Structure 1
Amino acid sequence: MKLVVPNQHGAWAMLLIPYLLGVVASSFRLIHIPLFIGWFFLYLATYPLMMVIKGKQVSFHFNWAVGYFFISFVFLGLVMFVEWRLIYFGLAMIPFFLLNIYFVKRKNERAFTNDMVAIGVFCIGGLASFYIGKGALTSEGLSVALFVFLFFLGSTFFVKSMIREKKNKRFRWYSWGYHFIVLLFIFTLKESWLWILPFAPSLIRAISLYNKKLTIMQLGIIEIINSVIFLVVTSLLFL
């Protein structure tokens, strides 16, 4: 039997990177394992749930959603038994999920705003990961969420400039301008200039690859490589 899993490959990086950076920026605890399993299955559950909302094979997708949610709640329940305050992170995600549902109902899932909403959800997962390791939300934990949000928003600009908005020259400048402003912002925010290094490759690829004839697979590989660079360099800076 084929598993029902989300078909947006870029979202897997958004799922993993905030969580891993939350661990690196704080400290690893065994409770991170069940937290990640619960978080992973919660993410899996969203795809069949959205299919139900769309009215596609409702009974089939409903059963998958219930199964994923059940596994997620079992593991997240174990985690909250140890640290009940994690429920606040779950509550913070609810408005984002409601916005996702709104865009699905409007048949406008690819809207830029919806992408921002999705990134926000994954950032909250990173905050939860940091909180478990640190026992509190500090400025460093908020930096994790901020950096991840800025990075993946840049990916959204880049991918749209290469696919849906490739003929929109104005959007090209939006993309390039955004990446440049992020570098300036990080440079002024952090004491060390080294913190711009995780974001510099994004600016380079946004400019150098614009208008290149690349397939969806090639773009995906480029984004995976860029995400790995961001994860590794940012992790080293947090250590």
Structure 2
Amino acid sequence: MSPWISNQHGAWAMLITPAVLGLVAGALAWARGGGPAGDLIALVAVLVAWFFGYGVFFAFGLAARARTPRRRRKYLAPVYVYGAICLAALLVVALARPATAWWAIPYAPLVAVAVYETLRGRSRSLPSGVSTTIASALLVPVLADVGGAELTWTHGATVSATFLALYFSGTIPFVKTMIREKGNESFLRLSVGAHVFSLVVVAAMVWAASLNVWAAAVMVAVMAIALVRAVWFPVTAGRGRAWTARDVGVAEMPVCLLAALGVLLAVS
């Protein structure tokens, strides 16, 4: 396994989707507000920090689980290289748009949870997965903020962050019911319960925020589809349907794209 490039395909979807959507939100906010060129530089720098920061986290997880000093040194190499690039990018953001520094407050506990779980050998635990998906979803309002948007709780970027956090967090217990926790009825109930909760929250949120009707409809539809597949897939697996990890991933792609559409409609 190369420590330089993550082999976790599901993680890449959670990394790239909010990054692209956040870039769109930030660029639109910048264009509408006629912000300074420095904000565009900051937008790019945030993305650089985000992707190289994930590279640091992935390699760090491998180093934490390494069984020999030689392998640990091999895994730490990208931590140092990617870490230097990430810090340089964050410095650019701080210089170009210092007002965004307050985002360190919500990110600090999320990073702390992920690092703690990694050090405890539980990098794929629910707390670790949920903390990283929330951090990923927050990228949408972060980039919108960098672009000059005036964020409120009803802003499309803010609503989108909650929506993406709930959607992507729900994929974690769902995938576990299909692979690591297959046949575990208690875990299946947890997964279905989480999806029901997410559907209710998203429906209430888009209504209270008076989100445009198309964005609201797509977001609610995504959560409804996610709930149905959280029930149907494990049930069919229990009846003998063979679902590979690849099958589950491919089936999730249209739902992820639909979720992206909902966010684009919300921030446009």
Band of TM-score, shorter chain: 0.7 to 0.9
Alignment correspondent of 1:205: 229
- Larger RCO (CA under 8 A, 6+ residues apart): 1
Aligned residue pairs, count: 238
Report the equivalent of 1:159.
Answer: 175
Quick one: which amino acid aligns to residue 49 of structure 2? G
Aligned to 1:5: 5
**Which residues of structure 2 form unaligned runs of 5+?**
31-39, 208-212
Separation in 2, partners of 1:189, 1:86: 25
Q: Which amino acid aligns with 1:61?
A: Y
CA distance in 2, matches of 1:237, 1:88: 24
Q: In terms of mean alpha carbon deviation, does 119-128 or 215-224 score higher? A: 119-128
In 2, Cα distance between equivalents of 1:199 and 1:120: 16
Q: What does residue range 215-230 of structure 1 map to in structure 2 within 5 Å? A: 215-230=244-259
2:84 is equivalent to residue 70 of structure 1: yes
| TM-aligned CA deviation for residue 47 of structure 1 | 1.3
Q: 1:187 to 1:203 in 2, by over 3 A?
A: same
Counterparts of residues 21-170 of structure 1 (less than 5 Å): 21-28=21-28, 29=30, 30-31=40-41, 32-55=43-66, 57-139=71-153, 140=155, 141-170=157-186
**Larger deviation: 146-155 or 203-212?**
203-212
Aligned partner of 2:199 among 183, 188, 192 = 183
Contact conserved, 2:49 with 2:85, CA < 8 A, in 1? yes
Could you tell me the TM-score, scaled by structure 1's length? 0.87
Superposed CA deviations along residues 73-122 of structure 1, whole A, max 9, x for unmatched, are 22232222110133332353232222222222222222212211121221
C-alpha deviation, 1:215, in angstroms = 0.8
Deviations, residues 39-84 of structure 1 (Å, cap 9, x unaligned): 1111111111222333452222222111111122222322221101
Deviation of the 1:179 alpha carbon: 2.0
Specify every segment of 5 or more residues in structure 1 that has no aligned partner in the other structure, as ranges.
none
Check whether the contact 1:25–1:144 (CA below 8 A) recurs between aligned residues. Answer: no
Of all paired residues, the percent bearing the same amino acid is 24
User: Aligned in 2, Cα 1:96/1:232: closer, same or farther, shift over 3 Å?
Assistant: same
Deviation of the 1:25 alpha carbon = 4.1
SS at match of 2:180: coil
Between the aligned partners of 1:59 and 1:229, the Cα distance in structure 2 is 42
Q: CA deviation at 1:181?
A: 3.0
Return 46-55 or 21-30, whichever deviates more. Answer: 21-30
Amino acid paired to 1:63: A
**Rounded Cα–Cα distance in structure 1 between residues aligned with 2:194 and 2:76:** 39
Q: Are the equivalent residues in 2 in contact too, given 1:198–1:234 (CA < 8 A)?
A: no
RMSD: 2.3
C-alpha displacement at 1:133, in angstroms? Answer: 2.0
Question: What CA deviation, in whole Å up to 9, does each residue of 1:14-61 have, x standing for no partner?
Answer: 112223333444544533223212211111111112223334522222
Q: Quote the offset at 1:147 in angstroms.
A: 0.7
CA distance in 2, matches of 1:147, 1:60: 38
CA contact (8 A) 1:18 1:144 kept: no
Do the aligned residues in 2 keep the contact of 1:197 with 1:233 (CA within 8 Å)? no
**Quick check: 2:3–2:58 contact (8 Å CA) kept in 1?**
no
TM-score by length of 2: 0.79
For the 8 Å contact 2:52–2:83, the answer to whether it is kept is: yes
Q: Which moved more, 1:111-120 or 1:171-180?
A: 171-180
Q: Which amino acid aligns with 1:5?
A: I
